[in-house]
A = this chain, B = another copy of it.
Amino acid sequence: MLPDLRDLIGYVAGILTTVAFLPQVLQSWRTRNLSGVSLTMYSLFTTGVALWLGYGVLLDSWPIIIANAVTLALASMVLALKLIHK
């Protein structure tokens, strides 16, 4: 496969797994209903994404830094809403 197409798949994958959390943030913000959302999941996930961000900084990798900074912001919002409305 062409390296360009392979890179494209990686970029689309990264965009999808990052922006995926936006509809969750919007829904949770709008409905204030987070009863089905796991607090343990978002605690582990935000910690993991923060470590990915640190890994990106140590590696000086902007794609890792940018993707994980956005995901960290969105996942932290879900975690905060869960802590407020649980």
* Contact present for B16 and A48 (CB under 8 Å): yes
A55 interface contact, C-beta 8 A: yes
- Hey, which chain B residues are within 8 Å of A17, CB to CB? 44-45, 48-49, 52
* Contact present for A23 and B48 (CB under 8 Å): no
Q: What separation, in Å, do the CA atoms of A58 and B6 have in the docked complex? A: 7
Shortest A75–chain B CB gap in Å is: 9
* Contact present for B52 and A13 (CB under 8 Å): yes
- Hey, which chain B residues are within 8 Å of A47, CB to CB? 16
* Interface residue ranges, A against B (CB under 8 Å): 1, 6, 9-10, 12-24, 27-28, 31, 33-38, 40-42, 44-45, 47-49, 51-52, 54-55, 58-59
